Chains A and B, each alone.
Chain A
Amino acid sequence: MAAEPVEDNCISFVEMKFINNTLYFVAENDEDLESDYFGKLEPKFSVIRNLNDQVLFINQETQPIFEDMPDSDCSDNAPQTIFIICMYKDSLTRGLAVTISVHYKKICTLSCKNKILSFKEMSPPDNIDDEGSDIIFFQRSVPGHDDKIQFESSLYKGYFLACKKENDLFKLILKKKDENGDKSVMFTVQNKK
């Protein structure tokens, strides 16, 4: 008959007040506590270009490459040119946390594990329980250039997605940003739909 406590409603007491011969306890307000995590929000479908207007796309060998491409070719080459940028809610405030995926044959997500870029065969997860992840990048605009974007790895601080010419190919790589001025880490992101 006696009242029973509701399930999983444990209370920590943080303070005591002694008033009129009675000891009162003040409960902890833990409504603001959250564990470190990333939580998935909506995705955007985008075309990513470097500052030379070359379009990023995923080739037959699942490699991310930049190439000159007129707009008509760009749409024709979809889904290889369309990148799915998923935004995540960050428990710390460091910038917009995103994953970059592409749906070509299968859904693959960009990973910078060991500072080497590759597209892993996986869908962006709903939650990531960590402060840093090999698939999470912080998308920020270039100061004073609101249309230009940089993507910094959440796992390797100071390392950014960049375009690098290797032999005849312009590849997407992860590199440490050059402090004296580095435009290879800047991109424009055009959202579709």
Chain B
Amino acid sequence: MLSLSWVFLWLIAGGKIKGFNTSDCSTGKLLRTYSARCGEEFVLFCDFPEPQKSHFYHRSQLSPTQSSEHLPCSGSKNLSDVQWYLQPPNRDPLVEITQNYPHVIQDKSTLHFLTTEMNNAGSYICRPRIRSPKDEACCVKMILEVKPKTNMSCGSSISHEQLLLLGSMGSIYCPGLSHQNDTQSPEVTWYQNGKLLSEKRRNPIEVDDVYDYHQGTYVCDYIQSDNSSLWTVRAVVRVKTIVKNTNLKPDILDPIKDTLEVELGKPLTLNCTARFGFEINFKPVIRWYVKDSDQEWEVPTPEGRSVKSTLKNEVIERVVFLKEVTQSDLRRKFICFAQNSIGNTTQSIQLKEKKGDEKEFDAFISCGKWSSLESGATSSLSEENLALSLFPEVLENKYGYTLCLLERDVAPGGVYAEDIVSIIKKSRRGIFILSPSYVSGPSVFELQAAVNIALEDQTLKLILIKFSSFQEPESLPPLVKKALRVLPTVTWRGFKSVPPNSRFWTQIRYHMPVKSSKGFTWNHLRVIPRIFSLEKTQ
């Protein structure tokens, strides 16, 4: 009967939070922390009193009022999932500390305060989230007092962020305890990342040889007595392990070369990447400057950003973007400047226009000497007509290329062989109209000369036109025979091929150089060099 009425009352009294009688909680500690309002962290551990000897407890931490008989916590291991509550100092109701509670994060059973404010004071209660019937009354209460440190400004006393130099000796100091000699300093309980450091009981912790595992969040507790009670004073220290400051200037990893080939009128991105050694007070500088004759000024560009950060180095990148490369940009020097506390480094870049190949002709046309006896039906176009009329009409007049025809463009009186070599060298392409009369006639010398020149000059490319079928004479030089097998070939199909928009001309134009900027070749199509390679053996 009685129990029923208890439940009834409890349900009426319940508000948003399922209240429970916090006065039954074993009072774990009276905690005090000093806050200089410098954004210090704080932690609360949920230490359930254990029936037997504890792994979590240091003997001095047990509150004197605690009696060992009333230990409602069963000591089972599942108590890591706990729920925290705050009983504010005034008569306000119990507050459950959930994920949204400002400036407080719960990490397993520990409550982390990201900053310590006066309004954090109060009674904190923790109890397991999943409770077996015997754990129902298991809870711990701790009273937190936040005392202001008014006579100290931020950073004047021992810091809550301390650095240890890897490979050296170091010490971790408990903030709030000034440097006292051993006889006067109280016994200190240290925790690292929530685990009790049972061997460390003094202030400061001396580390003989600093390793990266010494890094972490340390908590130091010591006892302070009031007239009436014993308070545990707690502070939190973030310890970071670092390497020593670099003694080197920064290193510019990119750009390396002094010049860069660019295209006028196109956009350009200049990237400067510099590597900086570690420094505690790291103030890296990375900038782009422009130097134009005597004047030098900084280029306004988005801030540098860190692209790689390791223990010893940081790599920072800063980019200059030019919407359009202008003539005046070609006269200027772009200088990347990187600086740290040791010194500075620079790397300058001169922009250069991508040069054309200084060749006079887009293509040189070679054909067999016409003989009316060998041409087929007179109604079809002869190879000489193809070379001397149709090619100029289509490629020069319609498509704007510059051709070289021996018969048309070379002044008489010179040495034939020398003339041929000279005009081949001045041409970007060589076009050879192959037929029986070509391969067995004198003109095949032109093909041979062109093949030899093309082996030296990578920019000269040769195109074969299969005007009519022929048999390769045995007497042809081996190099020419190989050329006939590997060079690109376009087949002439008589009248079908005549119109300028025929497949024949489309294929020819595919092999012709790009006319736009001074013979700068179009390098999108890597297909050509890979498939048709003169040097590869079959």
Question: Given the complex of chains A and B, what is the CA–CA distance between A26 and B165 in angstroms?
Answer: 54
Question: Given the complex of chains A and B, what is the CA–CA distance between A24 and B511 in angstroms?
Answer: 12
Q: Smallest distance from the beta carbon of A52 to chain B beta carbons, Å? A: 14
Residues of chain B lying within 8 A (CB to CB) of residue A9: 530-531
Question: Given the complex of chains A and B, what is the CA–CA distance between A66 and B277 in angstroms?
Answer: 37
A92 CB–B CB distance under 8 Å = no
How many A-B residue pairs have C-beta atoms within 8 angstroms? Tell me: 74
A142 CB–B CB distance under 8 Å = yes
> Is chain A's interface secondary structure helix, strand, loop, or mixed overall?
loop
Contact, CB under 8 Å: B525 / A24? yes
Closest residue of chain A to B472, judged by CB? A1
Question: Given the complex of chains A and B, what is the CA–CA distance between A180 and B532 in angstroms?
Answer: 63
Contact, CB under 8 Å: B486 / A143? no
Contact, CB under 8 Å: B485 / A143? no
Question: Given the complex of chains A and B, what is the CA–CA distance between A25 and B526 in angstroms?
Answer: 10
Contact-residue size bin, chain B (C-beta under 8 Å from the other chain): 35 or more
B211 CB–A CB distance under 8 Å = yes
Q: Which residue in B213, B506, B531, B536 is a CB contact (below 8 Å) of A22?
A: B506
Q: Smallest distance from the beta carbon of B444 to chain A beta carbons, Å? A: 14
Residues of chain A lying within 8 A (CB to CB) of residue B489: 1-3
Contact, CB under 8 Å: A181 / B211? yes
Q: Which residue in B213, B485, B527, B530 is a CB contact (below 8 Å) of A3?
A: B485
Task: Point out which of A4, A142, A144 has the most chain B C-beta atoms below 10 A from its C-beta.
Answer: A144
Residues of chain B lying within 8 A (CB to CB) of residue A33: none
B487 CB–A CB distance under 8 Å = yes
Question: Given the complex of chains A and B, what is the CA–CA distance between A22 and B510 in angstroms?
Answer: 9
Residues of chain A lying within 8 A (CB to CB) of residue B524: 17, 24, 26
Contact, CB under 8 Å: B526 / A3? no
Known interface pairs A3-B485, A5-B531, A29-B526; 16 further A-B residue pairs with C-beta atoms within 8 A, sorted by A's residue number: A1-B489, A2-B489, A6-B533, A11-B527, A11-B530, A21-B506, A22-B510, A24-B525, A143-B211, A143-B243, A144-B166, A144-B167, A144-B210, A144-B241, A179-B213, A180-B195
Binding site for B on A (CB under 8 A): 1-6, 9, 11, 17, 21-22, 24-27, 29, 142-145, 179-183
Q: What are 17 A-B interface contacts by the 8 Å CB criterion?
A: A1-B489, A3-B531, A5-B531, A6-B536, A11-B530, A11-B531, A24-B524, A25-B527, A26-B525, A27-B530, A29-B526, A144-B241, A144-B243, A145-B166, A180-B213, A181-B213, A182-B213
Which 9 residue pairs are nearest across A and B when measured between Cβ atoms?
A: A144-B166, A181-B213, A143-B212, A144-B167, A5-B531, A27-B526, A6-B536, A2-B489, A3-B486
Binding site for A on B (CB under 8 A): 165-167, 192, 195, 210-214, 241, 243, 311, 466, 472, 484-489, 501, 506, 509-510, 524-527, 530-533, 536, 538
